[in-house]
Amino acid sequence: MKLRDVAIGANASMYYRLDFKKIKGVFYPKTERDVILALQFANENDYEVTPKGGGSGLSGACTGGNQERIMLSSLQMKELLTISKDQGYVDVQPGATPDEINELLEPIAMKLWVAPSSRDIATVGGILSTDGGGNDTWVNGTMRDNTYRVRMVLSDGTPITVDQNGVKSENKHVAERLNDMKFSIHDVASSHGTLGFITELRLDIRPIEDEETVGGIVEYENYQEMGIAIAEMIERKSPIRYGETIVMAHDDVRGDLNPPLHILEVPKPYEEELNEIVNLTKLEPTELENMKEVRIKLPKRNPKEGIQMALFEGYGLHDDSLRRMQHSISEIDSLLMDNGLTPFAKYGHAPSKWYLGNNTAAYGIIMHSREIRPSEKTGEQIYEVVMQIVNKCQELGITPKPEHKWPFSDETKKKRLQDLRDVIGAGFNSFILDPECNEVLQTMV
C-alpha cells in the first residue's frame, strides 16, 4: 500500500494535490491509549496532527494542508461499546458510520437519527466535527443535537470528557480553564479537527416508529415561489419527514424533470395542511422512491462534454436570502458564468436546519451545487472563484457551506477556536486557522 492511498483515502474534496513528503506517518489507533502514543510521537518530532474519518467532507480539513504532519485515522475505532435502550443512547468509537450503528440497533427497533447522504462512509466523529446532517435534519437536528457527550484527547495527550454543560478531566487545571470559557459540545461541533481527537461519543437513539406517510412532488414556477413555500413550511413547523429539492438541472441530465421541484414526504394527518402551502402531486410509494433515487443520482452524472465539479458545495439560504431566492440564485449564477463556469445542477435539503458560527440555529435550504469546469482553468483560478463566492454569500446573507461551516471565513467561529487553542494547545490542523489558509488551499486544487 502506498502512502498516497492511505493519506487521501476517500477524500471527497477538490483539495487533493498534497505534498506527500510532508506526511510523516499515518496512524490507525484502536484505543485511546494508541491515540496518546501517536500524539507523543508527533510532539517529540514537532509534527502537526490531522484527524481523519471517512474523508467524505468537502472542506479540505482532513487533508491537513501542507505542514509536516501525521495523519491520525479513526477507521480502526469502530466498536459499539454500550447500548442503553431504556435511556436512549449508544456509546461508540468515532470511526463507526451511521449505517454500521443502525445495523446493530435494528434488532431492538432503535435508530440513530442522523442521516447524511454519505452515511455509509462518514464516521460519527467526522460528522460531529463538521456538524453534519441530512435531509431529515429539519426533524432530527444536526449531529450536535444528537450527541450527549464526547471523549477526546488534546494535543498534549490529555483526555477530556465534554457534554452540553462543560468539561471533566483528571487534569483539574485544564478542566477549570475550559469550564470558565464555557466549553461544550457546541465548540467540538464544526471544529474541523482543530481541537483534539475524538475517541468516544454518546449518541442519542430513538425508537423506529410505524407511521403512515404520504409523499409526492411539488413543481414551482420559479425559485422565488419555492423559497417562499419553504419559508412558510418553516414558520408552520411543518413535520416534513423527507424534503429534497431539485432546484435546477442542466439539459444534459434534466430528462423529464421540471425543476424547480420539491420531493416531500409527510405524516398522513398533515397532508391537508401541507396543501394549504403547496400543490402536492401525490405519488405511489414506488414512484416516490424512484424520485428519491433520481435526486440522489443527479450529482453523480456527468455532462456530455467536460466534467462536473463541486466548486462550492453548499449554500445555506435562510431568512431574507431564502425569501429572495430568485435574486440569490441569479446572483450566484451570474458570478459563475462571468468566470466561465456552467451551472450543472442545484439540489438540496429543504426545509433544513444548521448552526451559524455563534451557535444560533438557521432554517432554510441547504443547496448543493455542481458546475461544468472549463478545461483551461488552473487550480489557482478555480480557487479565486471560490473566494468570490464566499464574498457573494456574505453579501447575500447566505451561510457558506453550512454543513462544513467554511471556518476559514466564519470569523465568529474562528475567533472562538483560536481562544480555545490558546488554552488546550494548537497541535491539530493549524492550517485551517492560519492567515495563509487560502493560499495553502489554492495550491491543493
Question: Which run of H or E residues covers position 83?
Answer: strand 80-84
**What are the beta bridge partners of residue 214?**
266
Q: What is the pLDDT of residue 166?
A: 95
Q: What is the pLDDT of residue 15?
A: 75
Q: What is the pLDDT of residue 116?
A: 80
Tell me whether residue 212 is exposed, middle or buried, using C-beta atoms within 10 angstroms of its C-beta: 0 to 12, 13 to 18, 19 or more: exposed
Predicted confidence (pLDDT) per residue in 150-183, tens digit: 999 999 999 999 998 999 999 999 999 999 999 9
Q: What is the pLDDT of residue 210?
A: 86
- % of the chain at pLDDT higher than 90: 70
User: How many C-beta neighbours within 10 Å does residue 199 have?
Assistant: 23
CATH code: domain 213-400 is: 3.40.462
Q: What is the pLDDT of residue 426?
A: 93
Tell me whether residue 104 is exposed, middle or buried, using C-beta atoms within 10 angstroms of its C-beta: 0 to 12, 13 to 18, 19 or more: middle
How far apart are the C-alpha atoms of 63 and 418, rounded to whole Å? Answer: 20
8 A C-beta contact, residue 102 and residue 90: no
Q: What is the pLDDT of residue 4?
A: 58
Residue type at position 228 = I
Q: What is the pLDDT of residue 209?
A: 84
Closest CA to 183 of 200, 161, 159: 161
List the end-to-end C-alpha distance of the chain, in Å, as a whole number. 24
Tell me whether residue 164 is exposed, middle or buried, using C-beta atoms within 10 angstroms of its C-beta: 0 to 12, 13 to 18, 19 or more: exposed
**pLDDT-flagged residues of the chain (< 70):** 1-12, 58, 402-408
Question: What 3-state DSSP class applies to 399?
Answer: strand
- Using a cut of 0.75, tell me whether the model's pTM lies above it: yes
Domain residue ranges of the chain, discontinuous segments joined by +? 3-75+429-444, 213-400
Q: What is the pLDDT of residue 406?
A: 60
Q: Does domain 3-75+429-444 have CATH number 3.30.43?
A: yes
The CA-based dihedral angle spanning residues 208, 98, 130, 369, taken in that order and rounded to the nearest 10 degrees: -90
